[in-house]
Structure 1
Amino acid sequence: MTVEPALSATALVKNFGSKRAVNGVDISVPRGSIYGILGPNGAGKTTTLRMLLGIIDPDSGDRELLGTTRPRTASNRIGYLPEERGLYPGMKAREAIAFMGALRGLPWAEGRSRADLLLADAGLGHAANDKIKKLSKGMAQFVQLLGSIVHRPELIVLDEPFSGLDPVNQERLEALILAERDRGATILFSTHVMGHAERLCDRLAIIASGRLRYEGSVGEARATMPMQAHYTPRDNGEALAALLPADAVRENGGYVFNVPDSGMEALLAMLLESGHGIAGLSLERPSLHDVFVKLVGEETVERMESEAEEAA
């Protein structure tokens, strides 16, 4: 059974002067799923989200959101957390959430009541009457997040939602995303942290330099690369390396290499017969990190990881 997409785009292109920020991106986000857009800073993730939401128009390409080709007409059915955070500092947390709901058509009294429930569920009930300027940066960011979902939208779009959150609030956010998905909402979020994408996403798109490098499930992404063998010998003599596949590399007293196309049986028999033996052996699919390195390059991944550490 085909699931109708909550939003989709074909061949999206956006230029800013002489710079092409997005270059022919295609995505399709199934209803009721968690979908991630993964890529380094400057990859075109935010520009893609803004085109999908109708905040800016593409120079070319087509998009459809919740059944309409005019995204802004569906704004009350969408919850959006932009990359640039901002709340009125003199507002109390409860009132800030209710205010954001009112902007989407939610009655004020209902917004305040829902705000109390959302804050309590997130473990922040004690902060309901605190002014935004008195909250920590992470708590204020979480209040803005709650304001983006208080009207119970069909589609929730979060631009780098984990950026700047401490580990406790990151866990709260992951739990909230899963709860909203279980409620029936579709969640689309951008991130440059692979761990969040790997844990949460049903499907994802990998974007680098404005181009789509991959689209599909995490499992399908990992299946694009061969299984890896982690082998530890009993006897790590000098002649061992010559028996292993050419791509074998030393790691933690053993070797890691791609499982040969012919399988492991012949290689294992040779290792046993040679006397090197087997102290440990495991076969694993490559991680999303490994796939990402293959698609965008190790230098880009190292830069992403450095940026994620600085933002934490």
Structure 2
Amino acid sequence: MALLELQHLKKYYATQKAVDDISFSIQQGSIFGLLGPNGAGKTTLLRMITGIFYPDEGSILFDGAPFNAISDVQRIGYMPEERGLYKKMKIGDQVLYLAQLKGLSKTVALEKIKFWFKRLEMESWWNKKVEDLSKGMSQKLQFVTTVMHEPKLIILDEPFSGLDPLNANLIKDEIYGLAQRGSTIIFSTHRMEQVEEICDHIVLVNLGKKILDGTVQQIKQDFKENKFNIRLDGVPAGINSNAFEVLSSDMHDHTVKIKDGYKSNDVLKYFIQQDINVEAFNEILPSLNDIFIRLVEDTNAKTRSFQKVNV
């Protein structure tokens, strides 16, 4: 079941189309990646989802009903990339204040704060001020203020910014845990390796339009180029086959690309016939970073060509 559905959303700034007819849905309990280069329309989309902006056209359904910016915002946790904390305020007082704004009683809020502070190793922070925190410490604090009221939808914009590897793993584990407990998470980042590791489903936007929508594994399959890594027992004198071309070789390891009309079995058959032992045979799938660059550059090039024709 979809927790969030975006239907033909449009948002304009003067003559610029920040969001241009974008539709997609996000399933309950999933970790969803919203990707795109700077200026693609991601922030505008997030601000419409959270009720900060209203769409000029289109609609948003939240939990099966039209989105209500007043009541539904209590069921959303939004962690923006920029800091939204009071620098001079004590951390404990600040988290308590923000929790009560989200509808928690003081008693419940204090219980939740103690739980999260202990879980993220922040117990000694209560009387510190935000201005005394490092960027990574501020990021952990902002994460707590985002998830403490147990929102159904959690939006995390660059959540690992400023975190060392240990704390990044700590936050990552909490993201998995929140999804397992039923929260739906929108994860926005420029770090493609994090998306591959964390997200179930992604949407890529560029120049205000959706240019990719699917599961991480399906997208990698869709963009594969029939390339394989082969490790051989011994160094063959020469490799020459109609079934594939050798892209690179390094002693025992070779990268090949299978030609049209042939299959992986044809590659293996060649080496068997040559009496060469194959120790490993692995398909090379493109990284999301490679796919991201390829699609963004392609859409940018098409847009420039269109603009030249219409000048």
Structure 1 pair 105–295 and aligned structure 2 pair: CA distance change class (3 A): same
- The residue correspondences of 1:118-137 to structure 2 (distance < 5 A) are 118-137=116-135
The answer to whether the Cα contact below 8 Å between 2:227 and 2:255 also exists between their aligned partners in 1 is no
Matches within 5 A, 1:211-290: 211-226=209-224, 227-233=226-232, 234-235=234-235, 237=237, 240=239, 243=242, 245-246=244-245, 248-250=246-248, 252=250, 253-258=253-258, 261-273=261-273, 278=278, 280-290=280-290
- What is the root-mean-square deviation of aligned Cα atoms in Å? 2.6
TM-score calculated relative to the size of structure 2: 0.84
Aligned to 1:7: 4
In structure 2, C-alpha distance between the alignment counterparts of 1:34 and 1:197, rounded to whole Å: 9
- Matched to 1:38, the amino acid is L
Q: Does 1:68 align with 2:75?
A: no
Aligned equivalent of 2:33:
36
Q: State the distance in 2 between where 1:266 and 1:224 align.
A: 21
- Check conservation: 2:243, 2:258, Cα contact below 8 A: no
Change (3 A) 1:259 1:162: farther
Structure 1 stretches of at least 4 aligned residues deviating more than 6 Å after TM superposition: none
The residue that corresponds to 1:51 in the other structure is 48
Alignment map for 1:68-107 (pairs within 5 Å): 68-73=65-70, 74-107=72-105
1:109 aligns with 2:107: yes
Instruction: State the alpha-carbon separation in 1 of the partners of residues 179 and 87 from structure 2.
Output: 30
Counterpart-to-counterpart distance in 1, 2:259 and 2:175: 36
Look up the SS of the partner of 2:65 in the other structure.
coil
Q: Which stretch of the first structure deviates more once superposed, 132-141 or 275-284?
A: 275-284
CA distance in 2, matches of 1:79, 1:258: 47
Long gaps (5+) in structure 2? 301-311
Q: TM-score, normalised by structure 1?
A: 0.84
CA shift, 1:258, in A, is 4.8
SS state of the match for residue 50, structure 1? helix
Shift of residue 268, structure 1, vs aligned partner = 2.9
SS in 1 for 2:44: helix
**Cα distance in 2 for residues equivalent to 1:108 and 1:140:** 23
Amino acid of the residue matched to residue 137 of structure 1? K
Structure 1 CA distance, aligned partners of 2:182 and 2:259?
40
- 8 Å contact kept, 2:76–2:155: yes
Report the AA paired with residue 292 of structure 2.
F
- Give the C-alpha shift of residue 25 in structure 1: 1.5
Q: Distance in 2 between matches of 1:40 and 1:266?
A: 40
Paired with 2:195 and 2:249, the residues of 1 have a C-alpha distance of 26
The separation in 2 between residues aligned to 1:187 and 1:6, in whole angstroms, is 10
How far 1:120 moved relative to its partner? Answer: 0.7
Residue matched to 2:303: none
In 2, the alpha carbon distance for the partners of 1:130 and 1:259 equals: 63
> Aligned letter for 1:11?
H
**Given that residues 116 and 128 in structure 1 are in contact (C-alpha distance below 8 angstroms), is that contact kept between their aligned partners in structure 2?**
no
Give the drift of 1:293.
3.9
Equivalent position of 1:196 in the other structure: 194
Gaps of 5+ in 1: 301-312
Q: Which amino acid aligns with 2:286?
A: P
Q: What does residue 178 of structure 1 align with?
A: 176
Is residue 243–residue 259 contact of structure 2 (8 Å, CA) maintained in 1?
no
After TM superposition, give the deviation of residue 50 of structure 1 in Å.
0.9
* Partner SS, residue 223 of structure 1: helix
Contact 1:101 1:148 in 2 (8 A): no
What whole-Å deviation, never above 9, does each CA across 1:77-106 have from its counterpart, x for those lacking one? 111112221211222222222111111111
